[in-house]
């Protein structure tokens, strides 16, 4: 049970960034208290990577992050790198494996990563309290005391109210994505309270949805997946796309969703390894009596070909390739290489893996994550306007920003 008292640092939020910051500060001999609103710590860690936690990536650079200031993340990422985290994972003998694009996942369970962090917390006496609501946070300035006062209530054993003092406060409350896993706007409220600018927020790493004919098409193809090249606003990803009953998802779509804005189109290359126009002309020459749907079978899922036929050549569905004019084949080829789709919306925070936007990086020191307006107040992890691509980058940002603050509190 939390009791009134003084701490060197009080951290709000026991997610990836908060726990890692707590460990780093406690290793320096500081008295650390981590306050968590929900009943359990590290819920997103446990749910991440399909339960196997994609905890980092072998190839980290600032290009893998979206932020209004693309340089902001560099300093923290350089001070605590993926290799540092891998060293810790190996020290704890957590079994891990490399998957596509340098993504590192636990072999057994994400519980291994949370267990490792909690062992470190225990080893360095980080105090963690769950079921906590922070009712008030204020800065006390006097000649004898330069601290924050926190009025908190704990709800797991009746309601226990108490007052805490912290020389530093670190806001690690995460962001709006997946409210059932702890997503909250508390960090933005605190930023506003201390006069920090907060940039507009949007769901990121999120499936995209359609209305009308495209929704029906996606519904009919739900479960079908294929490798595509998807692009939007100058960004391009070559990954798998999955049709769902609401629209499109899969790694390619989650990645591009970080760059998609409402009203924009996405371009999908269904045959990223082929010049489809050239390929169709050759097929017509070599197999003039074959149907278009038949010659496409080695390249695309059958169910998708049948839907594309309905959309693009339903008038010629009973014609062999010889019956297609060259112009018509050119136009189908162009569409196969550049299918322009206009999503109606994203699925929103309910399923988004990250929140884009957040506490403006211009308000923070990139070395320490401390607020430039309010000394001893720090913001780390997803609450900050830094969001990673899919592939372990978001956790690496949580570790790196947590470490930077943990050394400075
Ligand atoms: C389903 C899913 C899967 C993901 N998989 C991956 C993956 O495999 N690899 C990867 O790199 N990223 C992944 N992510 C993204 C990653 O989980 C986040 O970027 C990361 O957890 C952010 O860390 P954080 O500590 O800033 O926030 P969080 O991990 O969200 O932690 C914030 C904590 O603060 C608590 N909190 C909120 N409000 C308050 C308050 N008022 N007072 C006290 N505590 C509060 C929350 O309950 C939570 O415990 C995934 C996200 C989701 C939703």
| Structural tokens at position 179 | 């409210």
| 358 within ligand 1 shell (Cβ under 6 A) | no
| 178 within ligand 1 shell (Cβ under 6 A) | yes
Q: With bands split at pLDDT 50, 70 and 90, how would you rate the model's confidence at 160?
A: confident
| 21 within ligand 1 shell (Cβ under 6 A) | no
Indicate the CATH number of 5-202+356-408 among 2.102.10.10, 1.10.240.10, 3.30.565.10, 3.50.50.60: 3.50.50.60
CA of 143 to the centre of ligand 1 (A): 38
**Has residue 183 got a pLDDT over 90?**
no
Of 14, 15, 54, the one to substitute when testing ligand 1's pocket (max ligand atoms within 8 A of C-beta) is 15
Atom of ligand 1 nearest to the CA of 13: 34
**Has residue 197 got a pLDDT over 90?**
yes
Q: What is the pLDDT of residues 341-393, one digit of tens each?
A: 999 999 999 999 999 999 999 999 999 999 999 999 999 999 999 999 999 99
Same fold, 5-202+356-408 and 208-346: no
SS (H, E, C) 253-312: HHHHHCCCCCCCCEEEECCCCCCHHHHHHHHHHHCCCCEHHHHCCCCCCHHHHHHHHHHH
Please name the fold of domain 208-346: Elongation Factor Tu (Ef-tu); domain 3 (2.40.30)
The CA distances from residue 111 to 52, 122, 183, 325, 354, in Å, are 8, 16, 20, 59, 21
pLDDT value, residue 182: 85
Interatomic CA distance for residues 231 and 228, integer angstroms? 10
| 47 within ligand 1 shell (Cβ under 6 A) | yes
Atom of ligand 1 nearest to the CA of 40: 49
**Has residue 65 got a pLDDT over 80?**
yes
| Structural tokens at position 26 | 């406690």
Nearest to 384 by CA among 196, 169, 147: 196
pLDDT value, residue 141: 80
Nearest to 78 by CA among 91, 62, 56, 57: 62
For atom 3 of ligand 1, the residue with the nearest CA is 48
Q: What is the pLDDT of residues 311-323, one digit of tens each?
A: 999 999 999 999 9
pLDDT value, residue 158: 81
Q: With bands split at pLDDT 50, 70 and 90, how would you rate the model's confidence at 262?
A: very high
* Location of structure tokens 């225990």: 122
Q: Does pTM top 0.85 for this prediction?
A: yes
pLDDT value, residue 180: 86
pLDDT value, residue 97: 98
Non-local (6+) Cβ contacts of 298 within 8 A are none
Atom of ligand 1 nearest to the CA of 41: 49
| 174 within ligand 1 shell (Cβ under 6 A) | yes
Of 23, 35, 36, 48, the one to substitute when testing ligand 1's pocket (max ligand atoms within 8 A of C-beta) is 48
CA of 293 to the centre of ligand 1 (A): 45
- Burial code (b: 16+ CB inside 10 Å, e: under 16) for 162-193 equals eebebbbbbbbbbbbbbeebbbbbbbbebbee
Average the pLDDT over 92-108 and give the result: 98
Q: What is the pLDDT of residues 25-49, one digit of tens each?
A: 999 999 999 999 999 999 999 999 9
Q: With bands split at pLDDT 50, 70 and 90, how would you rate the model's confidence at 270?
A: very high
Domain boundaries, the chain: 5-202+356-408, 208-346
The CA distances from residue 184 to 37, 51, 188, 193, in Å, are 10, 22, 9, 16
**Has residue 157 got a pLDDT over 80?**
no
| 150 within ligand 1 shell (Cβ under 6 A) | no
pLDDT value, residue 117: 98
Interatomic CA distance for residues 364 and 379, integer angstroms? 8
Average the pLDDT over 116-131 and give the result: 98
pLDDT value, residue 142: 74
pLDDT value, residue 198: 98
For atom 5 of ligand 1, the residue with the nearest CA is 48
pLDDT value, residue 128: 98
Asked if 266 contacts 209 with a C-beta cutoff of 8 angstroms, the reply is no
CA of 276 to the centre of ligand 1 (A): 42
Average the pLDDT over 60-74 and give the result: 97
């Amino acid at each position: 049970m939390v009791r009134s008292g003084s701490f060197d640092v009080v951290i709000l939020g026991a997610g990836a960034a908060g726990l890692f910051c707590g460990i780093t500060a406690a290793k320096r001999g500081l008295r650390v208290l981590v306050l968590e609103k929900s009943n359990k710590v590290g819920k997103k860690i446990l749910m991440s990577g399909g339960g196997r936690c994609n905890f980092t990536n072998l190839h980290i650079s600032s290009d893998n992050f979206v932020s209004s200031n693309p340089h902001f993340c560099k300093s923290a990422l350089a001070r605590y790198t993926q290799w540092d985290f891998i060293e810790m994972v190996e020290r704890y003998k957590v079994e891990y494996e490399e998957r596509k694009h340098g993504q590192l996942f636990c072999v057994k369970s994400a519980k291994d990563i949370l267990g490792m962090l909690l062992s470190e917390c225990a080893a360095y006496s980080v105090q963690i309290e769950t079921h906590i609501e922070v009712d008030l946070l204020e800065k006390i300035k006097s000649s004898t005391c330069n601290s924050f006062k926190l009025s908190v209530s704990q709800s797991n054993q009746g309601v226990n109210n108490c007052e805490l003092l912290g020389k530093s406060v670190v806001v690690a409350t995460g962001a709006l994505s997946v409210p059932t896993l702890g997503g909250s706007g508390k960090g933005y409220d605190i930023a506003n309270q201390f006069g920090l600018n907060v940039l507009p927020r949007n769901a990121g790493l999120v499936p995209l949805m359609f209305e009308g004919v495209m929704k029906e098409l996606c519904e009919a193809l739900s479960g079908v997946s294929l490798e595509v090249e998807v692009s939007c606003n100058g960004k391009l990803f070559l990954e798998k796309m999955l049709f769902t009953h609401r629209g499109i998802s899969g790694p390619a779509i989650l990645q591009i969703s970080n760059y998609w804005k409402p009203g924009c189109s996405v371009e999908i290359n269904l045959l990223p390894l082929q010049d489809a126009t050239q390929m169709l002309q050759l097929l017509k020459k070599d197999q003039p009596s074959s149907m278009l749907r038949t010659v496409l079978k080695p390249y695309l899922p059958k169910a998708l070909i049948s839907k594309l036929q309905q959309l693009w050549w339903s008038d010629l569905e009973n014609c062999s390739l010889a019956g297609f004019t060259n112009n018509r084949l050119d136009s189908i080829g162009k569409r196969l290489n550049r299918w322009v789709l206009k999503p109606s919306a994203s699925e929103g925070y309910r399923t988004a893996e990250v929140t884009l936007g957040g506490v403006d990086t211009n308000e923070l020191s990139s070395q320490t994550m401390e607020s430039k307006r309010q000394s001893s107040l720090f913001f780390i992890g997803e609450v900050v306007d830094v969001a990673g691509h899919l592939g372990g980058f978001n956790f690496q940002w949580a570790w790196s920003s947590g470490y930077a603050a943990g050394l400075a509190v």
